[in-house]
């Protein structure tokens, strides 16, 4: 069995789907591992380190994918890379299938079995393979650190002989994995932190981290019982907008992390709210890949508005901390493959009845198998 590790081609992608450490463990499973040259370069992992771990270094996509049975990638490979994946291979990556209705049928037609790691069910058994959590946690940390760098005042209150610097006020929108880590990081740096979410369960989590909760609590939020938030109604959005208008204006830093699985990110911070902020304020939009939570965000860019608000709208926040995010992502994929590995056959074994397998598999044996992507759902 040959496992190929691809060099990522997508813009702003700095991560890699295996590390020298996971390569050793994959080889111990009985796999031959091939790594595309330069795959780890932007995550500070050299070809020499991969080779020392036992990997074959292949010069290009064609060479690394020749004869591959399993392919590890961070994002869905580009069309020209996909064309080189052998029929029957298992591709494990973040598939990003919601935005492209032709993608899943084309993968089925190419005979590639795809495990879409972002569709992993949020169950205890799957936690160690949960790429969304491992990456969001680091993104939340990174967002606060970058906001602190862009903010020209400082987070903690500093009482000095020369005078007092007041503490920063930081507001987190969306208290999932990224938002909770943002709260914890901002608190450690000494900011006064508040946060909002639409899931009632988030309120206690926000408070347990020492932040105050600011949010609309009504019959609609009471219905949010799943792990993922649902899209909210216009009536809720109106109530939330009124509360956000006063809250955003009072804060120096706003960290946006609100996402709705498979949908465009909700716009929560309007242009008018940005205009109400003081000069020198900072907004970090972690939702920029999904369009952004802030109306003024320019996805992929850092901008300063005419009233002096800096908006960090970079794409791919986990990629901005590439060594740690690659390391955790690679561990997630290793755990996935190890969990579904037939030790005797030395091959993947993905039982169709397993909840994790049912959750992640988009295509199998030339057919679309995921309920959300069946031809009748298109
Ligand atoms: P996410 O990235 O999908 O969304 C981020 C946050 O934005 C969520 O908390 C969501 O409720 C919030 N949000 C969405 N729309 C909003 C709006 N209009 N206004 C304000 N907030 C809004 O979420 P996530 O980080 O992937 O985590 C979702 C939940 O799943 C969390 O409770 C997390 O603890 C849980 N989780 C459970 C497991 C597990 O049990 N194994 C693993 C990971 C995450």
Query: What is the predicted ipTM?
Result: 0.96
Is residue 79 domain-shared with residue 222, that is, in the same domain? Answer: no
Which residues are part of the catalytic machinery? 122, 127, 130, 133, 228
Residue 298 maps to a domain: yes
Tokens of 86: 């052998």
Q: What is the pLDDT of residues 297-352, one digit of tens each?
A: 999 999 999 999 999 999 999 999 999 999 999 999 999 999 999 999 999 999 99
**51 and 65 both lie in a single domain:** yes
Count of structural domains, the chain = 2
The pTM of this model reads: 0.96
pLDDT of 204 over the 90 cut:
yes
DSSP state of 294: B
How distant, in Å, are the alpha carbons of 177, 209, 244, 273, 327 from that of 184? 11, 6, 21, 25, 22
Residue 178 lies inside a defined structural domain of this protein: yes
Q: In testing the pocket of ligand 1, which one of 176, 179, 194, 196 has its CB within 8 Å of the most ligand atoms? A: 176
- Asked whether residue 377 is domain-assigned, the answer is no
pLDDT at 1: 97
Domain boundary among 282, 299, 320: 320
**Cβ of 20 less than 6 Å from ligand 1:** no
Ligand 1 and 228: CB distance under 6 A = yes
Q: Does 374 map to a domain?
A: no
Tell me if 257 CB under 6 Å of ligand 1. yes
Confidence of residue 44 (pLDDT cuts 50, 70, 90): very high
CATH code (residue 63) = 3.40.50.720
Same domain, 273 and 176: yes
Q: How far is the CA of 234 from the centre of ligand 1 (A)?
A: 20
Asked if the structure places residue 376 within a domain, the reply is no
**Same structural domain for residues 180 and 281?**
yes
Nearest CA to ligand 1 atom 2: 259
Domain residues for 61?
A: 2-130+321-368
Q: Is residue 253 within a helix (H) or strand (E), and if so which, with residue range?
A: strand 253-256
Clarify whether residues 197 and 259 are in a common domain.
Answer: yes
Identify the pLDDT of residue 150: 98
210: helix, strand or coil: coil
- Confidence band of 221 (pLDDT split at 50, 70, 90): confident
Average pLDDT over residues 117-133: 97
Determine the residue of 227, 257, 260, 263 to mutate for testing ligand 1's pocket, defined as the one with the most ligand atoms within 8 A of the Cβ atom: 227
pLDDT at 378 over 60: no
Q: Are 171 and 299 within one domain?
A: yes
Chain segment 356-374, per-residue pLDDT in tens:
999 999 999 999 999 999 9
Claim to verify: residue 31 and residue 149 sit in the same structural domain: no
Q: Are residues 17 and 163 in the same domain?
A: no
Q: Do 201 and 286 reside in the same domain of the chain?
A: yes
Query: Is residue 246 in some structural domain?
Result: yes
Q: 204: how many CB neighbours lie within 10 A of its CB? A: 10
Mean pLDDT over each residue of the chain, to the nearest integer: 96
Return the best residue to mutate from 122, 273, 360 for the ligand 1 pocket (most ligand atoms within 8 A of CB).
122
Count other Cβ atoms within 10 Å, centred on residue 148. 20
Residue 248 exposure: Cα atoms within 13 Å on the Cβ side: 26
Q: Are residues 27 and 90 in the same domain?
A: yes
Q: With both helix axes pointing from N to C terminus, report the angle between 131-150 and 322-339 in degrees, rounded to the nearest 10.
A: 170
**Residue 223: predicted pLDDT:** 85
Same domain, 240 and 361: no
pLDDT of residue 377 exceeding 60, the answer is no
303 shares its domain with 155: yes
Let me know if residue 28 belongs to a domain: yes
Residue 29 has pLDDT above 90, yes or no: yes
């Amino acid at each position: 069995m040959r496992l190929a590790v691809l060099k990522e081609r997508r813009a702003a992608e700095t991560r890699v789907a295996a590390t020298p450490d996971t390569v050793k463990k994959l080889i111990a499973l009985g796999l031959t591992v091939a790594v595309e040259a330069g795959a780890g370069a932007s995550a500070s992992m050299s070809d020499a380190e991969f080779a020392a771990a036992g990997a074959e270094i292949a010069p290009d996509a064609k060479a690394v994918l020749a004869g591959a049975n399993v392919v590890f990638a961070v994002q869905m490979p580009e069309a020209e890379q996909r064309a080189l994946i052998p029929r029957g291979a298992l591709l494990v990556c973040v598939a990003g299938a919601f935005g492209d209705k032709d993608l899943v049928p084309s993968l089925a037609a190419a005979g590639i079995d795809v495990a879409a790691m972002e569709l992993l069910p949020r169950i205890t058994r799957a936690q160690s393979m949960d790429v969304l959590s491992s990456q969001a946690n680091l993104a939340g940390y990174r967002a606060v650190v970058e906001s602190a760098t862009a903010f020209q005042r400082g987070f903690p209150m500093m009482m000095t002989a020369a005078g007092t610097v007041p503490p920063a006020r930081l507001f987190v929108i969306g208290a999932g994995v990224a938002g909770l880590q943002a709260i914890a990081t901002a608190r450690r740096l000494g900011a006064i932190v508040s946060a909002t979410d639409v899931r009632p369960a988030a309120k206690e989590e926000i408070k347990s981290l020492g932040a105050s909760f600011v949010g609309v609590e009504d019959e609609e939020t009471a219905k949010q019982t799943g792990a993922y938030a649902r899209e909210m109604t216009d009536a809720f959005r109106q109530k939330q907008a009124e509360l956000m208008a006063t809250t955003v204006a009072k804060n120096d830093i706003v960290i946006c992390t609100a996402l709705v699985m498979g949908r465009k990110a909700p716009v929560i911070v309007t242009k008018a709210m940005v205009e109400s902020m003081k000069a020198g304020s900072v907004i970090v939009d972690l939702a920029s890949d999904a369009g952004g939570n802030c109306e003024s965000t320019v996805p992929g860019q850092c901008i300063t508005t005419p009233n002096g608000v800096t908006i960090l709208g970079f794409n791919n926040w986990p990629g901005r901390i590439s060594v740690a995010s690659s390391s955790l992502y690679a561990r997630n994929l290793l755990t996935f493959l190890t969990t579904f590995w037939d030790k005797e056959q030395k091959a993947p074994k993905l039982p169709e009845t397993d909840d994790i397998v049912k959750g992640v598999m988009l295509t199998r044996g030339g057919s679309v198998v995921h309920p959300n992507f069946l031809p009748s759902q298109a």
